[in-house]
Amino acid sequence: MSNENIKKQYNLKIKELDKHNKLYYNDSKPIISDSKYDKLKNEILDLEKKHKFLRNKKSPSKKVGYKSSKSFEKYLHKVPMLSLSNAFNEEDLKNFEKKIVNFLNKNLRFDYSVEPKIDGISASLTYKNKKLTYGVSRGDGKVGEIITENLKTIKDIPQIINYPNFPDEIEIRGEVFIKKNDFLKFQNDFANPRNAASGTLRQKDPNETKKIPLNFIAYTFGYVKNNPFKFQSDYLNELKNWGFKINKNNRLLPNIKELVKFHKKFEDTRFDLDYDVDGLVYKINDLELQNRLGFTSNAPRWAIAHKFSADSATTKILNIEIQVGRTGALTPVAKVEPVNIGGVVVSNVTLHNEDEIVRKDIRVEDVVKIERAGDVIPHVIAVDKSKRNKNLDRFIFPTKCPSCGSDTFKEYNEITKKYDAVRRCNNDGYGCERIAIEKMKHFISKEALNIEGFGKKVVEKFWNLKLIKKPQDIFNLNFKRIENQEGWGKLSVSNLKNSIENSKKVSLKRFIYSLGIRHIGIENSKLISENIKNISNLIIIIKKKKFEKFLNIDGIGETQIKSLKNFFSIQSNINIVEELNSILKIQSEEVNKNGIFRNKKFMFTGKLNGLSRAEAKSLIEKNSGVTLSNVGKNLDYLIAGDKPTKRKIDQARSLGIKIISQEELIKLLN
Ligand code: IVH
């Protein structure tokens, strides 16, 4: 047989094996017996043994398992697994601390628990009666996947804990990672150590997970029954006693000055470590304070990740493309000669905006130094002008939208008296192809409708097939047509149908966010949804254009109001909201309705003592109460602090509303 024929035969077998891998690992529907599968695999290995030229990356000898499985059982985290906000310098840290002090409204002294931020995959381990009962991945932070058996293959994870006073139920959280040295053996299978850890954890067969030496370092907890701990540092020590690994480089430090000093020192030596770290995590050590500070919608107020500065490399700009984003922003992206930065191959680099190109005078064919930090998109630090070819032309930024040809504009900021650095497409949204596609991607994204199996690529594909033009089209898809597309079949279409159906039940917060209104991110959507309660109220406000009402909400300002007005000045956006409302089941925000302040309305006047308004408000809301910003007859309590506004006190008196002090409020709570 000629080499060509041998290769053909080999490729056919590989294709066949791939098909069965997918059926087994991804779809859980094997159609051949294990022995037939093994036979096929051995035939491939035999061919490779006889004909060395066949060996390649696709070989089953090189591959570990198959692509990760999509079908793990889901698990609702008792306490969400959130992410961390980032700090890049001392300024950011000072701001972080300032916000804490403002929130607690007192100059308290507190220590920081300092922990290296390992760049791996977080996992949550639930122990009930000293036994590991659930091992779960982070997932989207709210719902994870049950990967207990895979986690059990990790030697650092104890399955039974024999220690007196170990809590009856505790969720121990930490990072799963692969050591740099161990990763060397699997370089052909995964792009970087982090991917190796995540791919390995998502194998259907725990024996596949076992093939790769994973490690686990514990650093926090989720739900704990009768939590006995007062300090994070105590908890970390106890973890060690229980038999978990904790990081040897953990520290307890008293202030920002010391944090910065330690960060500098640690950054220089981090390459000597046997695992990837991308920064340090600082947590307020006092758990009582952590509890008071609580969370914003995706990160705790009491912790921050102080990232290490980035790795850099030199490369050449091949071309500059203009991408149009969801809000019409024209973002220049440089296509560069691929370079490896810290284990990741970079071929796209953001140039941010028009002003940045002018400021740095970036031109096509320039040699540039680029930088990449953690999950931040790589960017240009400087152009090496000594290497510039004399006759390179300046880059001319387009004045028309490259997608729809509309005029573009730069916004004028009344407050700073400056034009925005970003140029935007003038189109009102769904009339510009790229904006429309990006809006749809936002609509299906995790924090919005979160339609499983309906990713960004699917949006592009369905758009090209003219199956979707507006978000509501998603709920009226031609499934017959989809079934006939390459890569789709009965099973995947039926899964898609289900996940679309499931996504119809959506909270008001996610719904507002899903509309993709500029300046209305998830946090502001939450504030608005808590304020207006239900979709009918929202529609009334939209129709009457009474957005000023939202100025009463702490956190919503003129910028957001202006953006809402702009968005809803377009009739098609109002139509979208109404049509979606008739399709979806938009639910008012789940709040604890049964707290002691159920149906009670509060308002503040004057300065509180040792507690900020924000914290007092969050205390009231935690107990099902509501805070208002105007005195009216429906108010139940006016909380009067130092130097209250006389007019408010008088109004409350005349309406017979109870006026209470801060101490009385705390008493009510107790
Ligand atoms: S605490 C709510 N501690 O960083 C607090 N996280 O961006 C978040 N991570 O998903 C978790 N080292 O995967 C915490 N010592 C540490 C950590 C750590 C690494 C990861 C973790 C998390 C991500 C947050």
**pLDDT value at position 26?**
59
Pocket test for ligand 1, best of 85, 173, 175, 282 (most atoms within 8 A of CB): 175
Distance (angstroms) between ligand 1 centre and the Cα of 80 equals 12
At residue 426, does pLDDT exceed 80?
A: yes
Q: Is residue 62 part of a domain?
A: no
Same domain, 494 and 608: no
Q: What percent of the chain has pLDDT over 90?
A: 60
Which residues make beta-bridge pairs with 547? none
Same domain, 232 and 273: yes
Q: Is residue 594 part of a domain?
A: no
pLDDT band for position 28 (cuts 50, 70, 90): low
At residue 541, does pLDDT exceed 60?
A: yes
CB of 282 closer than 6 A to ligand 1?
A: no
In this structure, the number of other CB atoms found within 10 A of the CB of residue 571 comes to: 9
Distance (angstroms) between ligand 1 centre and the Cα of 83 equals 7
Shortest-distance Cα residue to atom 18 of ligand 1: 117
**pLDDT value at position 276?**
87
At residue 310, does pLDDT exceed 80?
A: no
At residue 158, does pLDDT exceed 80?
A: yes
Shortest-distance Cα residue to atom 12 of ligand 1: 117
Distance (angstroms) between ligand 1 centre and the Cα of 631 equals 43
Q: Give the residue-averaged pLDDT of 326-332.
A: 95
Shortest-distance Cα residue to atom 2 of ligand 1: 82
Q: Which residues contact 485 (CB under 8 A, 6 or more apart)?
A: 461, 465
- Domain finish residue from 367, 400, 427: 427
CATH number at residue 414: 2.40.50.140
Distance (angstroms) between ligand 1 centre and the Cα of 648 equals 45
At residue 55, does pLDDT exceed 90?
A: no
In this structure, the number of other CB atoms found within 10 A of the CB of residue 642 comes to: 10
- State the Cα–Cα distance between residues 336 and 346, nearest whole angstrom: 8
**pLDDT value at position 156?**
96
Same domain, 393 and 467: no
**pLDDT value at position 219?**
98
10 Å CB burial of residue 480 (0-12, 13-18, 19+) is exposed
pLDDT band for position 544 (cuts 50, 70, 90): very high
pLDDT band for position 63 (cuts 50, 70, 90): low
Same domain, 230 and 102: yes
Q: Is residue 97 part of a domain?
A: yes
Same domain, 580 and 463: no
Same domain, 267 and 218: yes
The better pLDDT of the pair 344, 291 is held by 291
Cα–Cα distances in angstroms (integers) from residue 247 to residues 84, 115, 120, 219, 444, in the given order: 18, 7, 14, 8, 38
Same domain, 151 and 250: yes
Same domain, 123 and 256: yes
Q: Is residue 593 part of a domain?
A: no
Q: Give the residue-averaged pLDDT of 293-297.
A: 85
Shortest-distance Cα residue to atom 3 of ligand 1: 219
> Which of ligand 1's atoms lies nearest the C-alpha of 300?
2
Same domain, 275 and 379: no
At residue 24, does pLDDT exceed 70?
A: no
Q: Residues 394, 405: contact at Cβ < 8 Å?
A: no
Q: Give the residue-averaged pLDDT of 523-534.
A: 89
Q: Is residue 42 part of a domain?
A: yes
Distance (angstroms) between ligand 1 centre and the Cα of 120 equals 9
Q: Highest mean pLDDT range out of 198-207, 308-317, 419-428, 461-470?
A: 461-470
CATH number at residue 443: 1.10.150.20
CB of 220 closer than 6 A to ligand 1?
A: yes
Pocket test for ligand 1, best of 77, 83, 301 (most atoms within 8 A of CB): 83
Shortest-distance Cα residue to atom 13 of ligand 1: 122
At residue 221, does pLDDT exceed 60?
A: yes
Same domain, 216 and 107: yes
The better pLDDT of the pair 67, 6 is held by 6
> Which of ligand 1's atoms lies nearest the C-alpha of 175?
13
CB of 281 closer than 6 A to ligand 1?
A: yes
> Which of ligand 1's atoms lies nearest the C-alpha of 82?
2
Distance (angstroms) between ligand 1 centre and the Cα of 667 equals 36
Q: Give the residue-averaged pLDDT of 354-369.
A: 93
Q: What DSSP character marks residue 23? A: I
CB of 144 closer than 6 A to ligand 1?
A: no
Q: Is residue 579 part of a domain?
A: yes
CATH number at residue 628: 3.40.50.10190
- State the Cα–Cα distance between residues 466 and 547, nearest whole angstrom: 35
Tokens of 157: 């994870």
CB of 175 closer than 6 A to ligand 1?
A: yes
- Domain finish residue from 405, 427, 449: 427
Instruction: Please identify every residue annotated as catalytic.
Output: 117
Same domain, 91 and 215: yes
> Which of ligand 1's atoms lies nearest the C-alpha of 303?
5
Q: Is residue 592 part of a domain?
A: no
- Domain finish residue from 251, 279, 307: 307
Give the number of domains in the chain.
6
**pLDDT value at position 27?**
60
Q: Give the residue-averaged pLDDT of 331-337.
A: 96
At residue 480, does pLDDT exceed 80?
A: yes
Lowest mean pLDDT: which of 45-49, 567-571, 646-650?
45-49
Domain that holds residue 111: 74-307
Q: Give the residue-averaged pLDDT of 175-200.
A: 85
Please give the mean pLDDT across all residues of the chain: 90
At residue 70, does pLDDT exceed 60?
A: no
> Which of ligand 1's atoms lies nearest the C-alpha of 122?
13
Q: What percent of the chain has pLDDT over 70?
A: 95
**pLDDT value at position 375?**
62
Distance (angstroms) between ligand 1 centre and the Cα of 18 equals 35
Distance (angstroms) between ligand 1 centre and the Cα of 161 equals 24
Shortest-distance Cα residue to atom 1 of ligand 1: 220
Which residues make beta-bridge pairs with 320? 334
**pLDDT value at position 165?**
86
At residue 620, does pLDDT exceed 70?
A: yes
Q: What is the pTM of this model?
A: 0.62
- State the Cα–Cα distance between residues 268 and 60, nearest whole angstrom: 40
Pocket test for ligand 1, best of 117, 124, 301 (most atoms within 8 A of CB): 117
pLDDT band for position 374 (cuts 50, 70, 90): low
Q: What DSSP character marks residue 547? A: G
Shortest-distance Cα residue to atom 9 of ligand 1: 117
- State the Cα–Cα distance between residues 229 and 216, nearest whole angstrom: 22
Phi, psi of 125 (to 5 degrees): -115, 120
DSSP state letters, 575-632: HHHHHHHHHSEEE-----TTSTTTT-EEEEESB-SSS-HHHHHHHHHHTT-EE-SS--
Q: Highest mean pLDDT range out of 43-52, 140-149, 228-237, 368-377?
A: 228-237
Same domain, 244 and 361: no
Q: Residues 539, 578: contact at Cβ < 8 Å?
A: yes
Helix (H) or strand (E) holding 197: helix 193-201
**pLDDT value at position 357?**
93
- Give the pLDDT confidence of 563-617 residue by residue, as tens digits: 999 999 999 999 999 999 999 999 986 666 788 999 899 999 998 888 888 888 8
Q: Give the residue-averaged pLDDT of 287-315.
A: 89
- Give the pLDDT confidence of 1-18 residue by residue, as tens digits: 788 899 999 989 988 888
**pLDDT value at position 551?**
85
**pLDDT value at position 69?**
54
CB of 137 closer than 6 A to ligand 1?
A: no
> Which of ligand 1's atoms lies nearest the C-alpha of 119?
19
At residue 516, does pLDDT exceed 90?
A: yes
CB of 83 closer than 6 A to ligand 1?
A: yes
> Which of ligand 1's atoms lies nearest the C-alpha of 299?
2
CB of 82 closer than 6 A to ligand 1?
A: yes
